Chain A
Amino acid sequence: MPHIFHEFDNAIGDLKSHVLQMASLTRQNLERAVQALITRNIDLSRTVIGEDTEVDELEMKIDHLGMEILLRFHPVASDLRLVITSMKMAHNLERISDHAVNIAKRAKKLCKSGDPLETAMIEPLYTKAEHLLRDALLSYTDGNTDLGERLKNGDAELDKAHKEVIALLSSRLETAGSGAENLLHLIFVSRSIERIGDLAVNIGEDAVFMNEARDIRHEHRRNLGEEDRVVEKSEEG
């Protein structure tokens, strides 16, 4: 049902459309960054680095629109959740785009210094992260909370694959000689992709909150007893 004050609906629509624009641009940046890495395309790397400015500007615009809605319309209930989620989402998207820029910068360096065979290991990681991001965005746009909740499983798979890649690359570092620097670039690329998975999970969790007012963040930890938490912490340490 629309709001009685139509300007409120217009403002909400404007906010959502900016979020979607930012999401689309961020996904494109990520895809291009990985393509630049895999196809050794230095121009594409430069494009990604350049377009990050637009993502940064969109983040600020979304914050501004969100603040304006809070000030002018005093949203409550689902409207309030939508505004808060949109602003948090913009922050997560901006960080994803930053990781895309990191990948693009590493791609530029790898283009100049050679083409390690291990680059091929990055693509499956990217595919997993891209699917996570796609599902996270769908959970926001379509209100699909199932997708949002399932992201943790996909992220666990990505984490596992990332650890395997890191283990393999690390094992080759000692014998890599002058190629060690390239392997380090790939380790950082893998790390960026793993972080993108985490940020996609954040977006999905926020989308669940937006749609159902349910906070599923840190659910695993909240479900643990105090003793379990202590054990888990000592294992982490």
Chain B
Amino acid sequence: MSEHQEIFPSHENLPDVMVGIRDLCFNYGSSQALKHINLELKQNKVTAFIGPSGCGKSTLLRCINRMNDEIPGTRVTQGSIRVEGVDIYDRSVDVVKLRRDVGMVFQKSNPFPRSIYENVAFGLRMRGEKNKVVLDQVVEESLKDSALWDEVKDRLQESALGLSGGQQQRLCIARTIAVKPLVVLMDEPCSALDPIATAKVEELIYNLKKDYTFVVVTHNMQQASRVSDETAFFFMGELIEFSETRRIFSNPKLKKTEDYISGRFG
């Protein structure tokens, strides 16, 4: 168990916990990437994962929708992750459905080489939705929620690949929320975007958190402090400190956290 265990009180039974991670250990082959992680992600909040490269933050993010299942030789060796109380590593869990409930936006925008409309409708079509009225309505709502509608409403049938990088990333967010997930995971969603596009994505996260629970992996400390409600700091596979973002960036409890966020690490 982590030496910092005592500063993470258990909230798993509280109604506002969307994702409960309990004593989670994860291995890449024989290498332990996550060590006894205990963490509760609250509903309709934005939680930022920060820490140096290789600390395990992206690994943990990918555990929350079992994306690591696709990597040979990896496995959860201990512990559990519950989304809305359901153990997502239980054998009965449908992984495809899980990934609808826990959507993901990646560092590099990855629209399909199809029209803007088809990109957003993709998840619904996969679910078997064929009603054109329903599809039109969800595409419009999702694009509006992603603050992209005004920019693309007159060219929905054009290729998504013709959009700018920032627009493509917002399209990926629209595609993710079109299937109404519970949780949206974001792995460095703005690292390839200019400041204007970054601000638009951050504005989106802020506006959308009333409907979704967000987890954002970022190397940008200012971004973490701007968009997140709570922040988790990881180091060498361990969760070092988890607290309100304002506290982490104004008065962290642990020196290791302070050294990292203030650029004294190394």
Contact = CB atoms under 8 A, between A and B. Distances in A.
Interface of A: 1-5, 8, 73-81, 213
A74 B259 contact: no
Contacts of A81: 250
B91 interface: no
A74 B222 contact: yes
Interface in B223-266: 225, 249-252, 258-259, 261-266
Contacts of B225: 76
B263 A80 contact: no
Nearest to B251: A213
A96 B266 CA distance: 42
Interface of B: 221-222, 225, 249-252, 258-259, 261-266
Most buried by A among B222, B251, B258, B265: B251
B258 A4 contact: no
A74 B262 CA distance: 9
B224 to A, nearest CB: 10
A81 B222 CA distance: 16
Contacts of B221: 74, 76
A30 to B, nearest CB: 33
A116 to B, nearest CB: 51
B249 A77 contact: yes
A216 to B, nearest CB: 14
Contact of A1 (B222, B249, B259): B259
A8 B264 CA distance: 10
5 contacts: A3-B263, A8-B263, A74-B222, A77-B251, A81-B250
Nearest to A5: B263
B264 A213 contact: no
Nearest to B222: A74
Given A213-B250, A213-B251, A77 B263 contact: no
Given A1-B259, A74-B222, A80 B250 contact: yes
B264 A77 contact: no
Contacts of B259: 1
A75 B258 CA distance: 11
Contacts of B222: 74
A3 B264 contact: yes
B264 A76 contact: no
A76 B265 contact: no
B264 A78 contact: no
Contact of B252 (A5, A8, A77): A77
A77 B81 CA distance: 32
B264 A4 contact: yes
Q: 10 closest pairs, A vs B, by CB?
A: A213-B251, A1-B264, A76-B249, A77-B258, A3-B263, A76-B261, A79-B262, A4-B263, A3-B264, A4-B266
Nearest to B266: A4
A113 B263 CA distance: 61
B221 to A, nearest CB: 7
A78 B222 CA distance: 16
Most buried by A among B249, B250, B262: B262
Contacts of B264: 1-4
Most buried by B among A76, A78, A80: A76
